[in-house]
Structure 1
Amino acid sequence: MRLLQHHRIVNLLLLATISLRFSTVSLADNWPQWRGTGSNGISTAESIPTHWSTTENVAWRSPLPGQGGATPAVWGKYLFVTSADGDDLVLIAIDTDSGKHLWQRKVTDGNQNARAGEGNSASASPSTDGEHVWVFFSRGDNFTSAILACYDYSGNEVWKFDVADRFGKIDIQFGMTSTPVLHEEALYLQLLHGAMKRGDDTRTGKVVKLNKLTGETIWEVDRETIAVFECKHSYASPFLYSDGNQQFLIVHGADCTTGHALDDGRELWRLGGLNADNDPENKAYDLYFRFVSSPAFGQGKIVVPTCKNGPTFAINVNSELKGEVTGKESVVAWSIQETPDVSIPLIVDDLVYLLHKDGKMQCIELETGSEVYHQRTHTVQHRSSPLYADGHIYFCGKDGVCTVLKAGRDFEIVAENDMAGETITASPIVANGTLYLRTYAGLYAIRK
């Protein structure tokens, strides 16, 4: 009898261990928010297809009611995606096994197109923690307001408010596309915008922390710069940096990049010099220098893109990263006179991949900034950010052609997969062993 009880206990412990392992793996395989679990565009999944079409290796295709550039968020069997549906802005829950729509909720109306239809109000990506999902929509004529909302997994609204009512009227030419950061019990937002008048002195943005379950403001701080005109407008997203020693929020826009403390929002460090020394009186100062691409981080460094023909910087996350760090040799590791403009840099091991908007891929050494290669891929406008999975780099052109590169120092195109002309501006993601591609017309689940 004792021997039987011993075996039962051993079996129960074994089952518990297996269950814990599967639970841990499942958590790691979700894609809870913009740029994934590590906020770095990297998936640990294996055996992801490198070749596909609109039918080959397609588990399912789920139609969408309208366009949007937001990537999905995935947790277990739930996939969440935002979209325009005529004038309405909606949140859709989809079953990851079948592609069936579980429910659709109208969050607000007032969809507005931008850049001749290239973008719209459904640009910020949703975020989820396994129980709730958060969405952020810019809306209204000239994008003067924005709605932030929280829903549960049954589609019930938990809270919702107009960000403009609480933090001031939004004034940004192509809409507030920034995706909030979800971390522990809070949401973090960067609200960087301002009037499109050359002589306007309104140069203050805001950084905000909210209670994720109630929407209540925990803190809001002003972020002052001397940026003018369109330079005040940032379409980039904030990110949380954490390496075990330091933890802070990265905010990018208005001619500079800043780090902020999570407890009270105070500014910890500032990197300037991104736009002609941040001096509007400088003849080289570009009045249209608005950031779209966001910083990337990894291996103890932050890679800071700018826009257009501006530079890219890399800074060291060390004990010297505090206060004004512009030109500080112990902090600024390197700079190059090229930048991806729209796509977020991708850091894998000791290399940085910069996807330029014309489809050229530039690979540089993370430590030194030395160029490894700069090669042309598919020649078309690229709006998506690259993804790394299982030794490969995935990215898509606006015309629906998705390129797969072999990661590493040797440039090698593994595949070019044509989605039959379906427009793509959203970035590819991988969750629970499946590659998801969001086009203007539908959502594809790709797996072997």
Structure 2
Amino acid sequence: MNRLFLLTLVSVAGLAVPASADNWPQWRGPKNDGHSAEKNLPTEWSQDKNVVWKLKMPGMGAGTPIVWGDKIFVTSVDGDDIALLCVGTDGKEKWKQKVSGSGKVKYRNPSGADVSDASASCSTDGKHVWAFAGSGDLACFDLDGKLVWKDDIQKYGKFRIQFGVHWTPVLYKGHLYLQVMHRGAQLVVALDAATGKEVWKKDRPGYSKGESPDVYASPFIWEGEDGPLLVAHGNDFCTGHKLTDGTEVWRVTGLNPNSSGAWRFVSNPLVLPDLIVVPSCKDGPTVAFNPVGAKGEITADNKAELWRVPASANFRTPDVVAPIRVDDVVYLTGDGPFTAVEAKTGKVIYREALTKFVHRGHMAVGDGKIYVPAANGTTDVIQTGKEFKKLATNTLPDTIFAGLTIADGRIYFRGYNHLWAIGTK
């Protein structure tokens, strides 16, 4: 399998209940778009500069840290277990609870780094925190670490997936939504977040050829004029579903133009009220459409579609990292190239080289800066706007497959070895 990664990405989530700008309650941030309203964020750091603290982790993990108030939540390999850790914003561990008895490292990607069942990100509503392990164990705890409920998602079919399960359930208004997509099941599922009980499940078919059923992306919630909808991305399609019963409303097609069997989705769509940008993989197309009023098949013949860009010398679909939008520019990154395109047309504004290494963690933006992390601990900092300007390249001595988190003036990185707090306070 070419350049497969396997996701960390991990990672996360969808919209949770409203939170203050200082919180980061899900892997894509307060508004599920990778944005932070924080100001005066650090531009430069190293292991000796602007490190507020670092905390040794019990094992590897690739879930984006989530933050609520003075608490940070991450999952981690812990011996033979997957554990949920609660760490204070002072850098001290508050508590640790077992999520799963399967903490074994099982998967290796072409970058040479092992990945584990501690790859999904947590989500919180400020009262409870939900953690998911690649073994299928999904658990809810209160913020003091007391177990509320636990379930095994393999009840929907024994996991059959080449590089492990890394999806993050999305939390939205009292429900958890999952896309359970592997060679043993192709489902979207809604659970009651307070009890874990099933609300509904719905078959979500795809081509199911070769690798296509192996899905490493996570679901999202779209909130728009005629929403909300559950957005599921995998098995050669991106689909929108009613939250009431999982009925499909629209489907983006043509993402696997040659019906190749060597295909799998890892990158997540950018989901905004007036724009959804859908990446594919392995130099396939990238599609953008207006989800307001969208129905049926999203193709070039559907008025909802805004642009569809095939691979070219100046444009490559993101293979792992989700796109991000600032104003009228959409930014995309691969394993080195960084591309800015017009949000309405897909026209390339610029394409520049960043750190040439595998990129697995999501980008984040705050204080007019886009933070682009690579797995070798290097983060490029790019100024927002239509003119390319790299402000800094910073390195931490760690392996980082998780996306970064911005909260209360700090940037948090979950490395395989340490949890890092970067900032000046």
Q: How many angstroms does 1:384 deviate by?
A: 1.4
1:130 Cα deviation from its structure 2 partner: 0.6
Deviation at 1:432, TM superposition (A): 2.0
* Aligned-partner Cα distance in 2 for 1:367–1:152: 43
Alignment partner, residue 170 of structure 1: 159
SS in 2 for 1:28: coil
The CA distance in 1 between the partners of 2:243 and 2:143, in whole Å, is 28
Question: Which structure would you say has the larger Rg?
Answer: 1
Work out the CA distance in 1 between the residues paired with 2:369 and 2:97: 36
Tell me the distance in 2 between the aligned counterparts of 1:299 and 1:241: 7
Matches within 5 A, 1:393-408: 393-408=370-385
1:30-429 to 2 correspondence within 5 Å? 30-96=23-89, 98-111=90-103, 112-115=105-108, 117-139=113-135, 146-165=136-155, 167-194=156-183, 205-276=186-257, 284-298=258-272, 300-319=274-293, 321-337=294-310, 338-356=316-334, 358-420=335-397, 422-429=398-405
What TM-score comes out, normalization by structure 2 length? 0.91
Question: 1-side partners of 2:106 and 2:79: how far apart?
Answer: 11
In 2, are the aligned partners of 1:297 and 1:347 still within 8 Å (CA)? Answer: no
SS in 2 for 1:32: coil
1:381 aligned counterpart, secondary structure: coil
Output the CA distance in 1 between the equivalents of 2:332 and 2:114. Answer: 22
2 CA distance for matches of 1:355 and 1:394? Answer: 11
Q: What stretches of structure 2 of length at least 5 have no aligned partner?
A: 1-16, 311-315
Q: CA deviation at 1:134?
A: 0.3
Asked if structure 1 preserves the Cα contact closer than 8 Å seen for 2:166 and 2:216, the reply is yes
Cα RMSD (Å): 1.5
Q: Which amino acid is the alignment partner of residue 428 of structure 1? A: L
What letter is aligned with 2:203? D
Segments of 4+ moved more than 4 angstroms: none
Measured in 2, the distance between the counterparts of 1:238 and 1:344 equals: 12
Distance in 1 between the 2:205 and 2:216 partners?
A: 17
Contact kept in structure 1, 2:187 and 2:201, CA below 8 Å = yes
* Superposition deviation, residue 299 in structure 1: 5.8
Shift of 1:318: 2.7
Cα deviation code 1:360-391 (max 9, x no counterpart)? 10110000100000100111111111110010
Contact 2:223 2:272 (8 Å CA) reproduced: no
Residues 1:25 and 1:147: Cα distance change in structure 2 (over 3 Å)? closer
Distance 2:47 2:301 in 1: 50
- Secondary structure at the residue paired with 2:266? coil
**One-letter code aligned to 1:37:** P
In the alignment, which residue of structure 1 is the partner of 2:13?
none
Letter in 1 for 2:241: H
Instruction: Please tell me whether the aligned partners of residues 299 and 349 of structure 1 are also in contact (alpha carbons under 8 angstroms).
Output: no
TM-score, scaled relative to structure 1:
0.86
Q: How many angstroms apart in 1 are the aligned matches of 2:278 and 2:69?
A: 33
- Structure number having the greater helix percentage: 1
Q: Percent identity?
A: 42
In the TM superposition, residue 161 of structure 1 has moved relative to its aligned partner by 1.1
Question: Contact between 1:61 and 1:443, CA under 8 Å: does it hold in 2?
Answer: yes
SS of the aligned residue for 2:287 comes to strand
Superimposed CA distance per residue, residues 125-170 of structure 1 (whole angstroms, 9 cap, x where no aligned partner): 000111110011112xxxxxx11000111111111011112x1211
How far 1:118 sits from its partner (Å)? 3.1
Number of residue-to-residue matches in the alignment? 399
Q: Deviations over 1:151-199 (max 9, x none)?
A: 111111111011112x12111111111111001111000001115xxxx
Change (3 A) 1:87 1:329: same
1:10 paired residue number:
none
Q: 2-side partners of 1:50 and 1:244: how far apart?
A: 37
| 1:446 to 2:419 alignment | no
Shift in Å, 1:26: 6.7
Q: Distance in 2 between matches of 1:395 and 1:55?
A: 20
